[in-house]
């Protein structure tokens, strides 16, 4: 008999000051039996960074054709595809063909460097792809906050991310491994 996913619930309050976006989200997260607390919490961090009423969690580790999170438009077209971890480069290329934007939040310490050194040459040319590294200290601190029922907050301002609950706060500084060409064009237009 196959093990079932465990259900986690999170009340997440997001204040993205840089983009003037604020919201409260009641989230239900199905955690696959093979998923770690660290991976689940990095998924929650990714949700907070792209918080939107249309952003949904994918079916999880057991489904290869779905991302960890995604946002579709009213026609069903995929606007945003988000994966966490160290995805297979073939899957990343396929995602870039299906979605308007693709974001990877890589974590795992030294494994990230090894993964990126192997995949970089082939993934660097993908214009819709952004790859960020979540530092291992931050991902482990996030994992320590995991509970079946969580009340979390995330404040994003001036490139810094403060993610926490009532007892703990984690400062997350993402390392930018690759920016999409679309982000670079937008930055040039706005003078950043």
pLDDT at 185: 42
DSSP 2: P
Q: What is the CATH number of the domain that holds 111?
A: 3.10.640.10
pLDDT at 130: 98
Domain coverage including residue 23: 6-190
* 17 part of a folded domain: yes
In whole angstroms, what is the distance from residue 100 CA to residue 93 CA? Answer: 12
* 144 part of a folded domain: yes
* 112 part of a folded domain: yes
What is Dmax (Cα atoms) for the chain?
Answer: 57
For the chain, what is the domain count? 1
Does residue 60 or residue 74 have the better pLDDT? 74
In whole angstroms, what is the distance from residue 138 CA to residue 120 CA? Answer: 23
Residue 13 in tokens: 């309050």
Specify burial of residue 11 (Cβ count, 10 A radius: 0-12, 13-18, 19+). middle
Specify burial of residue 4 (Cβ count, 10 A radius: 0-12, 13-18, 19+). exposed
pLDDT at 61: 59
Mean pLDDT (the chain) is 90
């Amino acid at each position: 008999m196959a093990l079932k996913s465990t259900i986690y619930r999170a009340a997440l309050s997001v204040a993205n000051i840089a983009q003037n976006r604020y919201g409260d989200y009641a989230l239900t997260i199905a955690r696959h039996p093979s998923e770690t607390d660290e991976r689940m919490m990095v998924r929650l961090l990714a949700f907070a960074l792209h918080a939107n009423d249309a952003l949904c969690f994918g079916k999880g580790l057991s489904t290869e054709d779905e991302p960890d999170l995604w946002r579709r438009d009213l026609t069903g077209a995929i606007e945003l595809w988000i994966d966490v971890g160290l995805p297979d480069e073939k899957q990343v290329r396929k995602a870039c063909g299906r979605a308007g934007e693709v974001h990877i939040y890589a974590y795992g310490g030294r494994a990230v460097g090894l993964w990126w050194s192997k995949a970089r040459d082939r993934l660097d040319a993908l214009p819709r792809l952004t790859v960020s590294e979540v530092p291992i200290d931050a991902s482990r601190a996030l994992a320590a906050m995991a509970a079946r029922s969580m009340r979390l907050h995330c404040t994003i301002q001036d490139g810094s991310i403060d993610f926490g609950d009532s007892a703990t706060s984690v400062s997350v500084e993402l390392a930018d491994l690759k920016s999409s060409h679309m982000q670079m064009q937008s930055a040039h237009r706005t003078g950043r």
